[in-house]
Structure 1
Amino acid sequence: MQTIARVMVVLAAILASTTVQTYAQGCVGDCSGDGEVTIDEIILGVNIALGSAALSGCPVFDRNGDQQVTVDEIIQAVNNALGGCSPIPTPTPGEDAWSFQNPAPSGEDLFAVSFPDRDHGFAVGSFSEVLRTTDGGQSWESLFIADFANLYGVHFINASRGWAVGEAGKIYLTLDGGENWNPQASGTQEDLNGVWFTDVAHGWAVGNTGTILRTDTGGNTWGAQSAGTTRDLFAVTFADSQHGWIVGDAGTVLHTQDGGASWLPQTSNTGNALYAVAFRDANRGIAVGDNGTILRTENGGQQWIASVSPVVTPLYGVAWGDAQTVWIVGDLTDEFQALILKSEDGGLTWTQQQSANTNPLYGVRALDGRTARAVGGAGTLLGADDGARWSLRNPAPTNDLYAVAFPPGESSVGFAVGDWGAIAITEDGGATWSGRDAGITDGLFAVTTVDPQLVWAAGGNGVIVASRDRGNTWSVQNTQTTETFFGIRFVTALQGWAVGTNGTIRATADGGASWFPQASGTTEDLNSVVFVNTSVGWIAGSTGTILHTADGGRTWSRQNSGTTEDLFAITCVDTNTCWAVGGAVETSTTPPVQVLLKTTNGGQSWVPQPVFCGQNPQVPDNSGCPDPLFGVYARDARTAWAVGDLGTILATRDGTRWDPQVSPTTDTLNGVFFADANVGWAVGFRGTILKTVTGGR
């Protein structure tokens, strides 16, 4: 009775002194999320302000994120009750609830690249993607062909005139540097994989089942030529107007020395598919393909000799830089980075160069012996300007991303991290993302921030890097371990924890200047850590591991999760309410497993949560979205999101029922973060960054 009396006195004073005002952010006091503020919700807010109710009961009262409810916030809630809440943003027609922010300028796979001169370059890829550079590959812009066909080959003879070829016999011509593209009739439905022109009139396109097309009219008409084979053909090149080569499946090499009037086979001495070929002149050439195959010739292909290849990775592209310099690009190595090989002796020997990228590279062109450009999966654009160091030419990383975080109360400045030391930052809410170099190549799997200036990221080999200037510069902190960190969390500028392989826990009380071990009592991998204050926290890990502390990590105790599946992420909103997610990916012999747990009593019990994505939306059934979950984030005890394999996005609006949201990607999503009930981000493989301004609805 005393509490109710105090609430009513405060409420009466507020109502007596309040005038209706308009506020720009959120709907303070709308605990239920129904767009209205009721008297009961205002009473709850007053109780939170007085300390007799927990903030988790209605986190939307805490407008500025300072973990308390003030008189000003109560006044704003009353204003919202009197004047109404602003409507929740909804997508405009044609706008997705979740939309891509990265990769840029495109996230489509890029399969081929052509440079007619040092400044002008063009790349083509899936869904008719065309990119153009006018500054030698330093920056690129996205163009578009009005079709959704995959484009596999491109060749420009000058900065204006070029051709692109692709699936189902597609051929396109541009006369204005890619601004406009006109279809040309190929006379075939076979996929076309490569194209080459020796001048404005004479050109060839090659494709599946031995397809060779020739034009003497700049593509106005195309006619079929005999290949003498039904093998798929992948690439065509000419050294001059008379001498040309085609390569394809099962070691196929064809050669012309009469300007393409006829094509004759050459002996390659390999049964591996050959995907690319390049000639320095009519004698010296290199062909590359499956299983690390590298062939070279010094006599126009009369003899093809196998070079000693340092890899067994599929090789997709080759380019000469000068008489001695050659580059090759290909698939991912055992280190999960795109392969780049370089020769400085005309292809006799090869050394691997670091790409620091997790996407295959499909095409490469060299501008000289020191300058080369490569394109690949997820719209990846790489460049080397000194013959040795390759760097990303996309604005932000295209590497696999594992985590995203924004400071409390902040929706403008944010950070995402990923493989090979990838760091992306935004200062405009994700309208643009840009990459930062922390000077490391270890994968970064977790990120945490307490204000726009202070941010930490953790990853492989015990690496923790920190920035004190909004992510612009980074320093490596000494963790005294080489274990891989999968989770990190700071609750103040000084106090934080990192967790990782073999039960590793490190803690700091000085912002990471020094890290000291804490005993976890387990050797299981620890994948995620969360603290709700400086004392109370949880860790989630493999085989269903959940650890809890109430003393800042001095002691950790194991809680019974009720599962033996791996748990990859955990989120908590107060000392009672948490969610943990995990599972296992589908294999050839086992179905996928999805784990979604919740506790409302501080972890004394963890309860599986119902997911509604089956045929009947009223019956709990995750058969329509059964894949494992790798990231989870909760705003309050009612509102949370989880992301996972194959682009899965789930959300709850009442704290119990989880429903799927429409995802624009099938790439794995690893991390999710929300700045408020509507604005959030998810990150994942191939540099994926998604954003929603509608809570994902």
Structure 2
Amino acid sequence: MARPMPAPGRPRCTRAARAAGLALACAMSARPASSAVLRDNLYDVKAVDGREAWAVGNFGAIYHTADAGKTWQPRDSGTKTPLFGVDFAGRNDGWVVGKSALILHTKDAGATWTRQTSPIGSQKPLFKVRALDARTAWAVGDWGAVTVTHDGGENWEDRSLTDDVVLYDVSFPDAQHGFVAGEYGTLLATDDGGATWTKRPVGTEKTLFGVSFSTPRQGWVVGIDGLVLRTRDGGGTWEVQRGSVAAGSIEELGFLEALKNPGLYGVQVAGRYGVVTGDTGMVLTSTDGGETWVRHELPGKQQLVWLRAVSLGDGPEGFVVGGNGFTARIEQDRVVLPAAVETR
């Protein structure tokens, strides 16, 4: 029997997930095609620079902003399939991945999107894609799915694991060094451009949803129970910056304590600036290269929204996206809240 697809960036809805304060994120929203609902969940974002970005989400949604997030314009993806990951190499060449191992590609700055042939079985959703350049991209997903192209997507190679593990994120600080994060504390690393991958111990079996390496040696992973870990030696050793590596039930932690440490889904550190996003409107920012993190309290109902992804542009500006069409702009250590994305 095929297992149910886990929602991107969220654990399967077990007591462990609820203990982490993730009850609000366990149910993936759905609506019929004829519904008049105006806002859709957004699962990933890519900042091309400080003003331009792409976001993807439910029902084949692709959005583009060129005015620092003041307005977002829908683009035709040609599908109603949920889209979970997006990345660009420069302004023209980009990829989107989603449910049923879907891969879409553009080479005209998002004006048109074409489907590429995936070597991954259609029962495996792809959750993240990383474009190293116009020819090389990696994508990861459920059931240990890993795939790569070296020719702009004309051909994709299946590099999937034999382990039955969900892989949620992938980071390449350069062409040779890459890192993949997933459930059960999984962290994979390569130093030969993906020819071989080895497991790196992180000291926990908690699910890791996000990974970001600013250099081949310095990186961060984030995950369940508000966990933030940092390495200074390429994943050989890890230090806890936030949360705990020890497992705990909601009975042990208490519900209010669990809510203080909601699941964290997205992370990026670039230069002096870093951002972490997560459940219950969680935003952490850093202005010292990820040495320390400051929590930002979002106003009102925004505190109930799960924030799935963050992407920083060339400088300290970037974008955050999440549930119910949530979008926000990052300006250094400030979180600027424009209107939610509206579909037409």
How high is the TM-score relative to the length of structure 2?
0.79
Cα–Cα, structure 1 residues 277 and 386, in superposed 2: closer, same or farther, change >3 Å? closer
Name the amino acid aligned to 1:150.
Answer: P
The answer as to 2:178 corresponding to 1:244 is: yes
Deviation at 1:354, TM superposition (A): 2.4
Distance 2:212 2:138 in 1: 15
| Contact in 2 for aligned 1:308/1:349 (Cα 8 Å) | no
Partner of 2:319: 373
Partner of 1:354: 297
Distance 1:99 1:191 in 2: 27
Name the amino acid aligned to 1:340.
Answer: V
Name the amino acid aligned to 2:263.
Answer: P
Partner of 1:382: 328
Q: Give the aligned length.
A: 291
The answer as to 2:283 corresponding to 1:340 is: yes
Deviation at 1:159, TM superposition (A): 1.4
Deviation at 1:365, TM superposition (A): 1.2
| Contact in 2 for aligned 1:108/1:378 (Cα 8 Å) | yes
TM-superposition CA deviations, 1:424-469 (whole Å, max 9, x none): xxxxxxxxxxxxxxxxxxxxxxxxxxxxxxxxxxxxxxxxxxxxxx
> Unaligned regions of 5+ residues in structure 1, if any?
1-94, 333-337, 399-686, 689-697
Distance 1:345 1:387 in 2: 10
Distance 1:368 1:218 in 2: 23
1:175 to 104, 107, 114: 107
2:262 to 310, 313, 325: 313
Partner of 2:274: 326
Cα–Cα, structure 1 residues 138 and 319, in superposed 2: closer, same or farther, change >3 Å? farther
The answer as to 2:55 corresponding to 1:109 is: no
| Contact in 2 for aligned 1:117/1:158 (Cα 8 Å) | no
TM-superposition CA deviations, 1:292-351 (whole Å, max 9, x none): 11111111111122213394200010111423x21100011xxxxx11012233334322
Q: Secondary structure at the match of 2:153?
A: coil
Instruction: Name whichever of 114-123 and 183-192 sits farther off.
Output: 114-123
Structure possessing the higher relative contact order (Cα contacts under 8 Å, 6 or more residues apart): 2
Partner of 1:299: 233
Partner of 1:260: 194
The answer as to 2:146 corresponding to 1:201 is: no
Q: Secondary structure at the match of 1:327?
A: strand
Distance 2:179 2:167 in 1: 11
Q: Within 5 Å, which residues of 2 pair with 1:392-431?
A: 392-394=337-339
Distance 1:312 1:141 in 2: 34
Distance 1:387 1:372 in 2: 11
Distance 2:52 2:287 in 1: 26
Distance 1:307 1:173 in 2: 37
Partner of 1:144: 76
Deviation at 1:247, TM superposition (A): 0.4
Q: Secondary structure at the match of 2:333?
A: coil
Distance 1:202 1:368 in 2: 20
Name the amino acid aligned to 2:338.
Answer: R
> Unaligned regions of 5+ residues in structure 2, if any?
1-32, 245-259
| Contact in 2 for aligned 1:372/1:387 (Cα 8 Å) | no
| Contact in 2 for aligned 1:307/1:347 (Cα 8 Å) | no
Q: Using the aligned pairs only, state the percent identity.
A: 32
Deviation at 1:386, TM superposition (A): 4.8
Name the amino acid aligned to 1:350.
Answer: W
Distance 2:235 2:107 in 1: 34
Q: Within 5 Å, which residues of 2 pair with 1:152-167?
A: 152-167=84-99
RMSD: 2.2
Distance 1:164 1:322 in 2: 26
Name the amino acid aligned to 1:319.
Answer: Q
Q: Secondary structure at the match of 1:250?
A: coil
Distance 2:82 2:89 in 1: 22
Deviation at 1:99, TM superposition (A): 3.9
